[in-house]
Each structure stands twice: as C-alpha cells, then as structure tokens.
Structure 1
Amino acid sequence: MAFAQLNPSTGSTPNTDPIRVMVVDDAVVIRGLLGRWLDADPALAVVASHRNGKLAVDDILRSNPDVVVLDIEMPEMDGMTALPLMLAKKRDLVVVMASTLTRRNADISLRALTLGAADYVPKPETTSELTTSVDFRRELIEKVKVLGERARRLSGRGKTMRAETNAGKTASQAPVGALANRPALPAARGADAGKPGFQLKPYSSARPRILAIGSSTGGPQALQQLMKDIGPAITDIPVVITQHMPPTFTAILAEHIGKAAMRPSKEAEMGDVLQPGHIYVAPGGKHMILEKDAGAVKVRLTDDPPVNFCKPAVDPLFDSVAKAYGSATLAVVLTGMGSDGANGVKTISGGGGSIIAQDEASSVVWGMPGAAANTGQCSDVLPLLEIGPKIVRVLKGSAR
C-alpha cells in the first residue's frame, strides 16, 4: 500500500525545540514501538505515553504535547471519548487518530475529523505487520512533523515555545483539524496574489461538463463542506474525486460526502459509466482514470505503480479528465501535503479547462494546492468557504 509522500520541507524547521508528542495506545508493544520511532527523529520528542484516554486527558496540561497520536479502541476511555476532552483542555492540540483498517474504524476515524482531529494514520492489522511497515512508519512521522509544525506557526510558537507555554496555559488557536471550517483570509487575486510570480488565468468559456477534485491531508473535512455547498448545483454533471486514502476508508468517505451533498455517491468501480449528479471516489490502492467509450465516459481502475508516492494519485485522474473533457473540465485542488495534482493542473489548463486551488489560510496543509497555484495555471485561489459558491456560479455560466 502506498500513501502520500509528505514534503519534508514543510516539516519542522531548524533551530526550534522538538515537537512534543504524546502516544496513547492500550498495547504496550505498540506504545513502545511508536515511541522509539518518533524519538529517533531529532525534530520530535515523546513526552508522554499512556494506555488509555483517561490517563492522557488527565496528563495533557502537565505534559503539554503539541501532537497526540491517539488509538481508537482502549479500555476505560476510548479515543473518541478522549478527543473532545483533550481539545477542550488545549485548543491548539493536534490529534492524529491511529486505527486499523476495519470498516468500523474507518467510519470512526472520519467522524473524528469532524470533531477536531487533524488527520489519521491507518495501522497495519497485526503487530508483526506494523513493525515491518515502512509506509506506516514514514506516514506517521511525517504527519506528526508537518501538522505539529503548522500548529506551532499558527499559534506563534517556535524555539521559545516551552518558555511561553507552561502546563497551566492553553492556547486560543483553533485545532488544526478545524482549519478547513474557520474563517479564512481574503482570497489572493491578480498577478501578485499569493506569492511572488503568482499568476491567474481566465476561466474557460465552455460550461463545465465534469468536476474533478484532488485532495489529501485535511481533504475529508474540506470535501464534506464543499459537497454540502455544491450538492444542489451538480444535477447536470458528474463529480470525480481522488483523495489520498487506503482501502475501506474511501468507501466510507464516499458515503459521508454523498450524505453531505444529498447525491448518489460511491467508491468507483471498473467500467462505471459516469452519470450526471453522481459522485465517484477513487478506491484506495487503485488509480482512477476516465476513458471515452462509444459516446460515454467510463471509469478504468489501474494497478499501476504509485505516482508522486500516492495510490490513488490525482495526476492520473486529472490527465485523463483533460483528455476526455478538454475545455469543459473544471478541477479543484484542495488541502494536502506534497505536490500531487500540479502536473495534472498543467494538463487541464493546456486543454483549455479551468482550475480552482484552495488558499493557504483555509488549508490544513498548503502543499498540493500551493503547488497547483504556483503553476500559474489556476483561474482562482480561494478560501474553502468561497470555493463552493464559485463553482455554483461557474456551472451556471455566470462567473468568468
């Protein structure tokens, strides 16, 4: 299984205190293993380790972690019960849920994101698989580093953090997991928008016949909001989504966003014929591409190698959408680590299509949308809460 390769350049910066981590898991072997992995990275320091949620909640202010790696199923107090209690005590806390790849745990993990968890890491099902999983170890460490450093930046903490934040204090910054829904800064506009050299392109004159979306870290929360906003407006076009997720999780995600949009939504299957008003989510572990066939557009799933260290990946989807729909393509790149989707953005733009990227202020991580924006091929870079209304206007032909 391949997951997103996270960008080390967005992680912990030099000359700062290590990111403080708490590990909460009822299995002593797993607590010890995760603790050793995390402590081995000079940018991280494990400050506490607990066997259940109650002990962790009671220790939050004393240990003052930046990030908690939280198991779901534990005796006395489980992870879902502990999560809101932790965030109530320390509002800038980053909580990363850790659960095995069962349908129940996938559903719980996605619900945890709506309660303020920043992200999740799917654990291998057995201890022996966990100890040998290079992907899991890399994903865990990089997510803890990137999300922990972002939380520090947002709350204005750096090398003097421990001197400024003692066990009796809590910060007022909203948790990272809630960033997608917080008020955002005004959208970047014009030639100087966003970053030096940042350029925007006019929208296509063709009315969109498909909406393609790519997302990663923070994506489930952002997708929920976006699909709620655009659900009534997507009657006449299909929506295709690649979200970096493992198997099982993608099926649950499709159900969640279908409820938000009040539209039919499913994990895509080989040979699906795209239908207007329907939502198709790339299944974990497979790339989803679109192909024209006798006047229809169908889904083809491939087991090709990871792209940008991801499987599913956004670039293959975007490339195929551009080929199938040309200037009638509307694409969106939402929050996520890395740069997956940036090459596909160029392909869509080259075919005359339009792209919207989420802005930095409303992104949990501005890796993917930042890379897309900096291609100079996007038509807009917007806060999450403005993307839905903009899509609705574009679909009506009233936003150019």
Structure 2
Amino acid sequence: MAIKVLIIDDSALVRSLLSEIVRSVPGFTLVGAAPDAYVARDMVKSFAPDVITLDIEMPRMDGLSFLEKLMAARPTPVVMISTLTEAGAEATLRALELGAVDFIPKPKLGIAEGLKEYADLIIEKLAAAAQVKVKPIKPAAPVADHTGQKISRALLQSTEKIIAIGASTGGTEAIKSVLMQMPADAPGIVMTQHMPPGFTRTFAERLNKLTKLHVAEAKGGERILPGHAYLAPGGFHLLVTRSGADYVLKLSETEPVHRHRPAVDVMMESVARVGGKNVIGVLLTGMGKDGAKGMLDIRNSGGYTFAQDEQSCVVYGMPKEAVNLGGVNETLDLEEIGPAVLKKLKEMGAGNRL
C-alpha cells in the first residue's frame, strides 16, 4: 500500500515543490495539497492521509492550532515544515509537544534549491513518520519554571560521573521527560539531539526553564559540573575530554557521522574513552543507527547503558540498533529511565550527594 501524503502550506511554491518530491518517489501517493487549515480539514476527512506535512505560519488558522485540533479529533503523524528562525524554533518545539512526529527546517533563502536538496531527507522523514502510531496527547499538567531555583555554581565540584544521552526523532520530548526526573545535584549530563543550528539553543533554554538543572547549549571549553546539562549545538559534534581531574567539553566541526553533526556516536565514544566505568549511557527514540556503537563503547569500557523500549519510542531505530549490537544493559519504558539511572548511580557510588 502506498503511503498517502497530505501537504498543508500557504506557499504555492512550497506546495508545488513538496508535491513534486512526493510524486517522484515510488510507494508514495499525494492525496492533496491544501493552502490553509480549513481546506486541509476537509481533505483529512476525505482522504485519511497516512502522514501530513504542516506549515506553522498560515492564514486563517495557524499550524499549531490546527495540529492541536487534529490530534484531539483524528491523531495522524505530522511532520512540521519549520522556518530557521528563533520564533520558528519555539513554534516547532511546541508542535513536538502537541504530538508532531518530526520537523523539516525550511531554508530562509533559495527555498526551491533548498527543498530539492532536502528531498532525500524529506522522504526519509515522511516514511518514518507514516509508521508511527500517534497517541492522543493528554493535557499536560502545569510545569513550574525552575529558572530561579538552581544550585549556585560556586558550591559545585567537578562531576564524578557523567550521564550521556542521545536521541533523534521524537527525542525532544523524550529528553525532557528524562531530565525532569533528575535532581538539582545530578551528575553532569551531556546530550546530543539531532537538530539544526538555532534550534538547539532554543531547546536548551526550554529545558533550563522546565528542569531543576542548569541546561545550556555547549560552547566548548566548559568544565562539566554536577547539576548541569550540556546540549550539543547544531552543526557541531560534542566531545568530552579530560584535563587533570576535570571533564571538559570540546566542540568539533569534523565530518558528519551517519549524516549527522552533531552525532551521538561521536559524543558517546569520547565519553567512554575518558570516563570508562563512571559513565551511564542513555539512548532514546530516533531514526537510524547513530549511538549504537557509542553505547557499545560505553558498555565495553565498564559503564552502564539504558535504551528506550519499542513501545514508548516514537521511532525504535537507534535503540534497536544498540540492542542488536550488544550495547545495552537494560531496555526500559521512557518513564522508567530517569529513576533507573538514579538507582544505578547510587549502586555505582556516585558522589554529588545522590
């Protein structure tokens, strides 16, 4: 059965380009291209698409409002088409909270050439999204803003243990879930989420407000501290090095790995090298195999690894590859990972008052 795709975008050019890409690939059928949410609503009812591409900025009803209504009435896999701006990043993260599976950044300049270059990526993301069983989103409980409640940096020693977290498709919500279960004095955390430049800073700022940790986009050169979480910036690999008793962050613009920069494998392999038995690796939902080798390196170096299970993953690609490679000690439901990490840290004799 061909994958039925519905495109929703107020730009005639974008509709035309996306339509051309979808039509050019065997196994895909374009069921419609709607200029706004009201036309799209009727098309969803008529054609029951397997996956939808959705623009955030549209007249009459914006993409987020449409997405919220869609997920309540007829949950369907959605891939957002996002602008590479700060406002676009904020809206995209909100869309992922509302149940969108993934997003594709829309180039600011040279849009026709940009989308054509993205054709393979677009098809890959649509194919993965079409396989996702979207669950109705439960209304989220109000979350406190923890920005003003962080532990003073002056009180902190270097971290003794390191938690390394990797994710891709569906990962923004998965990472948020794990970090929200971490106490303010958790060991230092390093994270790689497949995201383009600009989006990672906005994501880190969002996590900083929602969790008890200091969360920031990594700049390179920072000493890793307990109570802090560092996110790989879009366009750079994040590595962990050693300087005396300290773990220190390093950024690299070496070639992409598994087509990604930042890549989870690069981060995890570096942590395994310098941290050995003091490392806990966590691999969450995502498409592809990035992180599988890094998880194996952590396990082989004496560290301990957790992978998200298939049932709770948006896409069970990266965790599955790590399991198949032998790099996973435990596979758990997403909600169980945070508590399991804390329990394991206590067994390992973690410092930092855990």
Are 1:148 and 2:130 counterparts?
yes
1-structure distance, mates of 2:207, 2:56: 22
**Residue by residue, what CA displacement relative to the aligned partner does 1:141-195 show, whole Å, maximum 9, x if unpaired?**
11111110334xxxxxxxxxxxxxxxxxxxxx625xx59x9xxxxxxxxxxxxxx
Are 1:215 and 2:199 counterparts?
no
In the TM superposition, what is the alpha-carbon distance from 1:299 to its structure 2 partner? Answer: 1.1
Match of 2:13 in 1: 29
| TM-score, scaled to structure 2 | 0.89
1:5-44 matches, cutoff 5 A: 17-44=1-28
Match of 2:242 among 287, 292, 307: 292
**Residue by residue, what CA displacement relative to the aligned partner does 1:338-366 show, whole Å, maximum 9, x if unpaired?**
00011111211121111101111111111
Are 1:260 and 2:243 counterparts?
no
2:118 partner SS? helix
> Is the CA contact 2:4–2:31 (under 8 Å) kept in the aligned structure 1?
yes
1:117 partner SS? coil
Unaligned 5+ runs, structure 1: 1-16, 152-172, 182-206
Residue type at the aligned position of 1:73: E
Match of 1:137 in 2: 119
In the TM superposition, what is the alpha-carbon distance from 1:63 to its structure 2 partner? Answer: 2.1
1-structure distance, mates of 2:65, 2:126: 21
Residue type at the aligned position of 2:41: V
Are 1:279 and 2:229 counterparts?
yes
1-structure distance, mates of 2:41, 2:31: 14
2:325 partner SS? coil
RMSD: 2.0
**Residue by residue, what CA displacement relative to the aligned partner does 1:3-40 show, whole Å, maximum 9, x if unpaired?**
xxxxxxxxxxxxxx111111111110110110110111
Match of 2:61 in 1: 77
2-structure distance, mates of 1:54, 1:133: 25
In the TM superposition, what is the alpha-carbon distance from 1:134 to its structure 2 partner? Answer: 5.4
1:229 partner SS? coil
Match of 1:111 in 2: 94
Residue type at the aligned position of 2:131: E
2-structure distance, mates of 1:31, 1:45: 14
In the TM superposition, what is the alpha-carbon distance from 1:135 to its structure 2 partner? Answer: 5.0
| TM-score, scaled to structure 1 | 0.79
2:180 partner SS? helix
> Is the CA contact 1:57–1:85 (under 8 Å) kept in the aligned structure 2?
no
Residue type at the aligned position of 2:320: G
Match of 1:12 in 2: none
| CA spacing shift, 1:94–1:236, aligned 2, 3 Å | closer
Residue type at the aligned position of 2:291: G
In the TM superposition, what is the alpha-carbon distance from 1:129 to its structure 2 partner? Answer: 4.1
Are 1:331 and 2:281 counterparts?
yes
Match of 1:242 among 192, 195, 198: 192
2:30 partner SS? strand
Match of 2:178 in 1: 226
Match of 1:49 among 6, 30, 33: 33
2-structure distance, mates of 1:270, 1:239: 14
> Is the CA contact 1:335–1:358 (under 8 Å) kept in the aligned structure 2?
yes
> Is the CA contact 1:346–1:375 (under 8 Å) kept in the aligned structure 2?
yes
Are 1:391 and 2:341 counterparts?
yes
1-structure distance, mates of 2:160, 2:42: 52
1:114-193 matches, cutoff 5 A: 114-126=97-109, 128-133=110-115, 135-151=117-133, 174=135
1-structure distance, mates of 2:19, 2:231: 34
In the TM superposition, what is the alpha-carbon distance from 1:283 to its structure 2 partner? Answer: 0.2
Residue type at the aligned position of 2:335: L
2-structure distance, mates of 1:137, 1:98: 13
Work out which structure has the larger RCO, using CA pairs closer than 8 Å and 6 or more positions apart in sequence. 1
1:240 partner SS? strand
2:220 partner SS? coil
Residue type at the aligned position of 1:216: S
In the TM superposition, what is the alpha-carbon distance from 1:293 to its structure 2 partner? Answer: 1.6
> Is the CA contact 1:61–1:89 (under 8 Å) kept in the aligned structure 2?
no
2-structure distance, mates of 1:123, 1:72: 11
Residue type at the aligned position of 2:135: A
In the TM superposition, what is the alpha-carbon distance from 1:237 to its structure 2 partner? Answer: 1.1
Q: Percent identity?
A: 38
Match of 1:102 in 2: 85
